[in-house]
Amino acid sequence: MYISNKSMFITFEGIDGCGKSSQTKRLLKRLNDEGIKTILVREPGGTPISEEVREILLDNRSKGMSDRTEALLMTASRAQLTYETILPNLELGHWIIADRYADSTLAYQGGGREINLEWLIQLNHFATFEIQPNLTFIVDVMPEEAFRRKTGENDRIESEGIAFQNEVRKKYGDLIKLFPDRIVLVDGHKSEEEIHNTIWEELVRRDYFNEKK
Ligand code: TYD
């Protein structure tokens, strides 16, 4: 499939409560203010079908879900989002920011649930129509800090607790080594403003704006 070379696909990753969602919104606003048409999506979810899948995945009544079912539903949600929103917008030359994407499956289902990484990589290939983000930011915080920041009820995955989040964080660490050109680690303990500036500087450093200005 043809993808305009002006479009950019940027994903945000990290453990639960790392602060990436505020960063995605900030970046969305700044890019749109700069005149770069940008769309924000989140996973699991982002389309009507994917949001229904999300309900099942995060519902505390889904306690009996097998790890493999979880991996398949996460990637099913991704396939629909990619097909319905991400690919068409990239083709139009728009930018996409995703609050979680394929790396979440590698970190959560691979690290947290200990599913074989090769299987998950293949599942992701299938679900993403073999596209890759241009750039991925992992907002890194200690699980203890993430839990301290948390408000409201835990969903099914958050209920797994700190040891689970530690495994997820470790796997994110492995992914940085596997994809050093694509993945950038940012320190989530810094202020929202500082993190945003680091992210913006990275986009400038990579010359992402050259064609637009
Ligand atoms: P969400 O409330 O969106 O969490 P957050 O605000 O931290 O992104 O819930 C998404 C949950 O689903 C989160 O615990 C991470 C998990 N998840 C996976 O386990 N695998 C995946 O592939 C994705 C996309 C998310």
Q: How confident is the model over 12-71, as pLDDT tens digits?
A: 999 999 999 999 999 999 999 998 999 999 999 999 999 999 999 999 999 999 999 999
Angle between helices 67-81 and 48-58 (to 10 degrees): 160
- CA 139 – CA 186 distance, rounded (Å): 5
Residue 168 CA: which ligand 1 atom is closest?
19
Integer CA distances (angstroms), 38 to 7, 52, 55, in order: 9, 24, 26
Q: What angle do CA 172, 32, 146 make, to 5 degrees?
A: 30
**pLDDT tens readout for residues 125-171:** 999 999 999 999 999 999 999 999 988 899 999 999 999 999 999 99
Q: List Cβ neighbours of 35 (8 Å cut-off, separation of 6 or more).
A: 212
Q: Give the distance (Å) from ligand 1 centre to CA of residue 4.
A: 29
Which has more pLDDT, 206 or 4?
A: 206
Show the domains of the chain with their CATH numbers: 11-206 (3.40.50.300)
- Residue having the nearest C-alpha atom to atom 7 of ligand 1: 16
**186 has pLDDT over 90:** yes
C-beta 74 within 6 A of ligand 1:
yes
**209 has pLDDT over 80:** no
Integer CA distances (angstroms), 37 to 91, 95, 157, 165, in order: 13, 6, 33, 34
C-beta 106 within 6 A of ligand 1:
no
**pLDDT tens readout for residues 71-95:** 999 999 999 999 999 999 999 999 9
Residue 113 CA: which ligand 1 atom is closest?
19
**210 has pLDDT over 70:** no
**pLDDT of 99:** 98
- CA 188 – CA 133 distance, rounded (Å): 21
